[in-house]
Structure formats: C-alpha cells, structure tokens
Homo-oligomer: A and B are copies of this chain.
Amino acid sequence: MIYDLIIIGMGPGGYEATLTALRKGLNIAIVEKNKLGGNCLNRACIPTKYFRTGAHLIEKLDTLKNYGINIKGNPEINYAQAWENKEKSIGFLRRSLENLLKSKKVPVYKGIGKIIDKNKVEIEKEDGTKEVIEGKYILISTGSKPSSVGNIVPDGEYVITTEDYMDKLKELPESILVVGGGVAGCELSYIMNKYGTKVYIVELMDRLLPSPIIAEEVSRYLLRKFKKLGIETFFSTTLKEYKVKNGKVEAVLSNGETLNVDKILLSVGRKPNSNIDTIGIEKDQKGFIKVNQYLQTNFENIYAVGDVINSPMLAHIAQYEAKIVLHNILNEDKKSPDYSLTPWSILTAYEVAHVGLNENQAKEKGIETITGYYPYTYNEKAVDESEAEGFVRLIFEKDSKKIIGGYVVGIGASEIIHEISLMIKAGFTAKEVHEYIYFHPSLSEIFAYASYDVAVGKLF
C-alpha cells in the first residue's frame, strides 16, 4: 500500500503531525529509531521541567514556615529517587502516546529511516534487516543532537552531553563544570545546584543565556541569583584542555585557572539530524534541511519541520510547523509559518520568558521604543506565595504606543508570556494593556502596572 504520509521522527513535530493527520483521516506510517516522544519528551523539555519542579520545591522548603508548616530537621535530598520518578512520569506520557497509536492502528516502523526515492523510505531495523515503505508525502521531523566543540570529546562518563545527563546520570556528581551558559546550561545548572552539586559554568560570551533574544537585564538578574546560589561562572572564557586523573577531571580554562571536578557537561547547542536521504535533499552549510516558505524541501512532496530545519529550536515551533505542513498537504492555498510571536521560556533559577521584540531587537529593525517596567515586589499574589522576585518589562513602539514585545522574569513567566503575545497579536496600545481586566490577585495584573507610566503618565 501507499501511505498518504510517512512521518520520520516521532518528537513534538511528528506527534503533532500524527494527531492532525489522524483527525483528517489520512493513512499514515511512523518511522522512529528511538523512543516515541523524541528528545523533548525523553531527554529535554519534559524531564528538565520535572527536575526543575523538584529544584524549585527544594528552594521553597524555606518558605514553608511562612505558612505555619514546620518540618523536622533538614529533608533528605535523593536525586536518584527523583530520577526514577521522572522515568515514571515520562513513561506515563509515552504510554499514552503509544496507546493512541495502537488504538488507531498506526504502523510504527522501529529503525533508522532513509529517504531513497521521493516517495520511498527505507527502514534499517535493529536486527539489520531493511524494509521499504511508500508514501505520497513524507515529513522529516528527525530533530537534532548535541553539538560538541573544539577538543572536547564526550565519553559518556567524564565528559557528558545533555542527552547523557538525562539518559544515564542517575546520581549527581559532587562537582561539575558546565561548558556553555545558554538555555540548557542554565537550566541544568540550577537543577544540579539545588540537588547539591557544586556547579561551575564556563561561557565563551560575556553573559548567560542567548543574545540578543534574552535581554541583557534578564541575563544580569539571573546571574545575581546564580551567585547567591553559589553557582560559579567564568565569562569570555573557554575550556582550554582537560584530563582525567584518579577518577576526577582536571579542567584548565583559558584564563589560566584549573578546576578539579567530577564531570564536564557539554551544553554548547545542537545540530540537525539531517543525514536522512540518498536523493539529494538540499541542506545548508550548518546541515539544516533547506525548506521554502511552505516548509517543502527541494522535493515538493517532502516537508521538514522542527530542529532539522533552520527555525527556532523549540518543541512548540516543531508542533506549529507540523500543523502548517498538514494544512499545506491538505489544501490548495498554502500557508507559511510566522515566527514573530514565538514564545521563549527558560526554566532555571527563575522562570524567564520572552516574546516579540526586546529593545535591542527593535532597534536593529529601526523601531523606536518606549518601555514599561514593574517588579514582582509589590504584586500581591507573588507576595502571598513568597515568590516576590522578578519583574516584567513591556516594549512599546514609541509613537503608536502599540505593544511589540515583552519579557517576564519570575514565577508564572512561562504562562503569562502568552498574554503579552496575545496583546501584541490583538494590536493593543499601552492604554489597552493598562485598562484590560485582570483577575485580582493574579500575576497577570502586573501588566496593568508595567504599562501605567506609558499609558497614563509617570507617578514620580
């Protein structure tokens, strides 16, 4: 039989494509070499968020007494126990996915898929046998894998990748050097810190978190917290060399300092899994599969989404693109993705979230801005929850006072960021942001205060 659609890679992109395809009655087949759910479910977003919940709860133990909850002595912190429970949670979610596929009788070909003809995928199975399946359309959603850098070679033991971290590291080391202070580096550093590991971060740039998308003031605010937590950072510095000695790693930094740690965690970004075909699907210099505005490769029936193409490497972008691909397969009038309202969220010592344009991004586009700011200090809900750290900044176009972006640092950031996104979408002015009805007490009402100066006038 010829399938309507073959999906290679069952991560967020593949999963979303599946859900829509099934609802539209398409005959689909799935090719997956690893566990269903992809990197996101098994080794990134979901387990990170799981451990981050634990890390944040450990931090919150200090606030229990505010509510008359008195625990005896210090709690015992057992990372291995968290790890086992993380596996259970992920297992529950993966099974719900497996059960869906079973109940809809979707064939899942376990193995490495290779596109050998514009309508044919060859699957190399674990036992070495091969099978070829045929499809009208093919979706490549094969994701990405950790990059390495320079002379640093992951060995799965002393030098580990973020995937090794999630797959294998059931016990945390006493000390670790994290190479790369980007998203994954900051997220895992906070987790390890709260679970008791001494964490060092070495970062080539002069700050934490990706620039320019994460504003400088956010990066500085996070750094202050990292210092308070005892996370040590080295900026504008690289790992020059390292050697394993007596079960420890001796790491020499470019500033001449030597650190003796148990492990090195490499978190220097990811590269696309684009070695996927023998038919000449075009890739760019970095190995990303090239797609046109409709997410088609140079073969018009073969689409690609997610980390394997050069768009923001975020699970929700893969999902968004998958919806567009399904639309484009099913309709004459094709759609293009619009990334302008992509929400970013980083779950580290604070929740950090961004959407739209920050001041620097606006400046680069020649847009003059005026901004509004409000700290969590006086937000009643944040105070009630003993979570009054953080702030909001809203970015408005100077003349029209229309909201064009914003970022949030603090509790709830990864949810309320969508309100900023929706207000941009709806074309709100500062006055409209200010006068909107937000529940009291909520974190969301901070937007009414962060827009006050611009909408109404300054208080001081």
A-side residues, CB < 8 A to B, are: 12, 19-20, 22-25, 40-41, 45-46, 49-54, 57-58, 60-61, 64-73, 75-83, 85, 89, 92-93, 96, 100, 103-104, 195, 314-317, 319-320, 323, 341-345, 353, 378, 380-381, 383-386, 412, 414-419, 421-423, 425-426, 434-445, 448, 452-453, 456-460
Q: Are B66 and A85 in contact (CB under 8 A)?
A: yes
Q: Using CB atoms, name the residue of chain B closest to A444.
A: B418
Q: Are A49 and B423 in contact (CB under 8 A)?
A: no
Question: Which residues of chain B are within 8 angstroms of A49 by Cβ–Cβ distance?
Answer: 380-381, 384-385, 441
Q: Using CB atoms, name the residue of chain B closest to A447.
A: B418
Question: Which residues of chain B are within 8 angstroms of A92 by Cβ–Cβ distance?
Answer: 383
Q: Are B93 and A383 in contact (CB under 8 A)?
A: yes
Give the residue of B50, B65, B80, B417 whose beta carbon is less than 8 angstroms from that of A439. B417
Q: Are A19 and B54 in contact (CB under 8 A)?
A: no
Question: Which residues of chain B are within 8 angstroms of A314 by Cβ–Cβ distance?
Answer: 439-440
A426 to B72, CA, bound (A): 51
List 17 additional contacts besides A51-B67, A54-B68; criterion CB under 8 Å. A19-B452, A20-B456, A22-B459, A23-B457, A23-B459, A49-B441, A65-B81, A68-B195, A72-B76, A89-B384, A93-B378, A104-B459, A323-B434, A344-B439, A345-B439, A414-B439, A417-B439
A selection of 19 A-B contacts at a CB cut-off of 8 Å is A23-B456, A45-B441, A53-B67, A64-B75, A68-B79, A68-B195, A70-B76, A70-B77, A71-B75, A72-B72, A93-B378, A103-B460, A104-B459, A315-B440, A316-B439, A320-B437, A343-B438, A412-B412, A415-B415
Q: Using CB atoms, name the residue of chain B closest to A435.
A: B323
Question: Which residues of chain B are within 8 angstroms of A426 by Cβ–Cβ distance?
Answer: 422, 425-426
Q: Using CB atoms, name the residue of chain B closest to A324.
A: B435
Question: Which residues of chain B are within 8 angstroms of A64 by Cβ–Cβ distance?
Answer: 57, 75
Judged by DSSP, the binding face of A is helix
Question: Which residues of chain B are within 8 angstroms of A343 by Cβ–Cβ distance?
Answer: 437-439
A150 to B442, CA, bound (A): 35
How many copies of this chain? 2
Q: Tell me how far the C-beta of A213 lies from the nearest C-beta in chain B, rounded to whole angstroms.
A: 14
Q: Are B442 and A46 in contact (CB under 8 A)?
A: no
Q: Are B53 and A385 in contact (CB under 8 A)?
A: yes
Q: Are A415 and B444 in contact (CB under 8 A)?
A: yes
Q: Are B70 and A73 in contact (CB under 8 A)?
A: no
Question: Which residues of chain B are within 8 angstroms of A65 by Cβ–Cβ distance?
Answer: 81, 85
Question: Which residues of chain B are within 8 angstroms of A73 by Cβ–Cβ distance?
Answer: 72
A19 to B190, CA, bound (A): 38
Given A353-B439, A422-B419, A441-B45, CB of A54 within 8 Å of CB of B67 = yes
Q: Using CB atoms, name the residue of chain B closest to A335.
A: B435
A50 to B385, CA, bound (A): 7
Q: Tell me how far the C-beta of A48 lies from the nearest C-beta in chain B, rounded to whole angstroms.
A: 9
Q: Are B85 and A67 in contact (CB under 8 A)?
A: yes
Q: Which of A57, A61, A342, A453 has the most C-beta atoms of chain B within 10 angstroms of its own C-beta? A: A57
Q: Tell me how far the C-beta of A183 lies from the nearest C-beta in chain B, rounded to whole angstroms.
A: 13
Q: Using CB atoms, name the residue of chain B closest to A69.
A: B75
Question: Which residues of chain B are within 8 angstroms of A24 by Cβ–Cβ distance?
Answer: 456-457
